[in-house]
Structure 1
Amino acid sequence: MSHHVFITGGGTGIGLATARALAPTGARFTLVGRDGARVESAASEFEHAQGFSCDVSDEDSVATAFATARDRYGAIDILINNAGITPSSPLHKTTLAMWNQTLAINLTGAFLCARAALPDMYDAKWGRIVNVASIASLMGGAYIAAYCASKHGMIGMARALAKEAAKNGVTVNAICPGYVETDIVARAAETIAAKTKLSEEEARASLYAGNPMGRLIKPEEVASAIAWLCSDGAAATNGAAIPMSGGEI
């Protein structure tokens, strides 16, 4: 039987690329995101998929999303925690609201979704959870303290849950990409250009300056690694934090 895959932030970028990577396996998809129209449009690309709005930082919204997912496609087999935001601010100018929102979406959202998915996986004695973290999970970064804290937390949660869930046939891992060719990175380049004398192209290049490959990572490259982590061939990979940064870290 094909797996039911629940992807947060599933309308664009890594989330959508992951659905495309898993589609040849016959998977059924529930794609969620803040923009309901966007994830609904993304879902229309696949034979067996649904897409709708969900605020992963809200407990009731997550509960409703998982209930809707199960109503159509049954138990959840694979969870991809991909939803996230990337605010930028010096720490001394970071508001509590900005800090709380970043952790709520990036980290608490992953917790709420994992908690909702685990009963299905435990019943099936099989499951895969992949947290889409960041190289910011493995190193610091100026002006992104809230983001770094949230992404470090995603790895900590993955490693802890990996120890808990292994006896039930569930693996939990984190993938840690460098700067990826996504809408978020495009907006980051625009912000840098607006605040500096750099052109937008120069700002974009500054983001991957630390990557020895001299380019942004492609969403499809990250998706390929995620698809492998979801496979039976990755059954012994558990509690890992895998960098995908072209050698930057």
Structure 2
Amino acid sequence: MTGKLDGRIALITGAGRGIGRAIALDFAAQGAHVAAAARSQDQLDSLVKEITAAGGTATAFSADLFNRSAAAELVAEVKAKMGAVEILVNNAGIGSSAKPAPVAEFDDDFWDSTLQLNLTAPFLLCKAVLPDMVAAGWGRIITVASINSRIPSVHAAAYNASKHGVMGLARTVAVEYARAGITSNCICPGPVKTVMNNARVQYDAQRKGVDHDEYEAGLTPIGGRLVPEDISPLAVYLASDDAKMVTGQSYNVDGGIVMS
């Protein structure tokens, strides 16, 4: 039995935990050779061990995408060790919960670091992988954005701006490279049970003065929060040949929060 991504080389950033880890596991199960990138070597080693134990293929790449030069260096290292990147998943990101504040009080350094990781790094990664994708006549770029690409959260100016921006970047790539056999799409998750979102839910519950569990239970019309495994099947589809005519799209996976 063959997988939907057999033999494809897939670079996934932020792969150590949460949504990135779930995508890496699903990609490997579908036959992709996974280049798993993150800052935490321990998390990457655990992921690679899990994938290889299941019969898949994965290689860990330690990368700090807060460093502007890291994107091009990462793509070059993957190419040297595994081959040219055919599927790029821009998943690494920083949320708003580390330093939430109204716009007039927002920390300038936190603004800069958020835009670097959430917007500039995906731009630089796209820039680095696109030449090989064009040469091959095939490529998939999937960007994990957010429903905050469409609607804002309070006290999250940098996160909101970066996620609106990354959707624009993904659509620009889509229109510029459609004839080259390359697709570019966004997945826009709602609240997902991750370390990053846990802190945001706790902050919002405290800010509103409501019970944490009751607040979490009402976050989506369906009820509660998503889990990373709710996101990864869509990433598999968008990375596959099944989605060859799908580009420039942004899909909400959010339990019904944003219905557009």
Provide TM-score, normalisation by structure 2.
0.89
Question: 1:203-229: CA deviations, max 9, x gaps?
Answer: 5346x1xx2101211211111111100
Quote how far apart the aligned CAs of 1:63 are: 2.2
1:52 is aligned to 61
**Is the counterpart of residue 231 in structure 1 residue 209 in structure 2?**
no
Candidates 7, 13, 16, aligned match of 1:8:
13
Q: Which is further off, 225-234 or 44-53?
A: 44-53
Q: Which is further off, 80-89 or 187-196?
A: 187-196
DSSP 3-state at the match of 1:45: helix
**Is the counterpart of residue 27 in structure 1 residue 27 in structure 2?**
no
Candidates 146, 156, 165, aligned match of 1:153:
165
| C-alpha contact (below 8 Å) 1:106/1:151 kept by paired residues | yes
| C-alpha contact (below 8 Å) 1:136/1:151 kept by paired residues | yes
Pair 1:191–1:34, CA change in 2 (3 A) = farther
Quote how far apart the aligned CAs of 1:57 are: 3.3
Question: 1:69-101: CA deviations, max 9, x gaps?
Answer: 112211101000001111222111111101111
2:3 is aligned to none
| C-alpha contact (below 8 Å) 2:119/2:166 kept by paired residues | yes
Quote how far apart the aligned CAs of 1:40 are: 2.6
| C-alpha contact (below 8 Å) 1:37/1:52 kept by paired residues | no
1:244 is aligned to 253
Quote how far apart the aligned CAs of 1:157 are: 0.4
DSSP 3-state at the match of 2:89: strand
Candidates 202, 214, 219, aligned match of 1:190:
202
| C-alpha contact (below 8 Å) 2:35/2:60 kept by paired residues | yes
**Is the counterpart of residue 79 in structure 1 residue 88 in structure 2?**
yes
Pair 1:78–1:32, CA change in 2 (3 A) = same
C-alpha distance in 1, partners of 2:137/2:130? 10
**Is the counterpart of residue 36 in structure 1 residue 34 in structure 2?**
no
1:217 is aligned to 226
Quote how far apart the aligned CAs of 1:59 are: 3.0
Provide TM-score, normalisation by structure 1.
0.93
Unaligned runs of 5+ in 2: 1-5
DSSP 3-state at the match of 1:128: strand
1:174 is aligned to 186
| C-alpha contact (below 8 Å) 1:8/1:33 kept by paired residues | yes
Q: How does 1:109-148 map to 2 (within 5 A)?
A: 109-148=121-160
Identity of aligned residues (%): 37
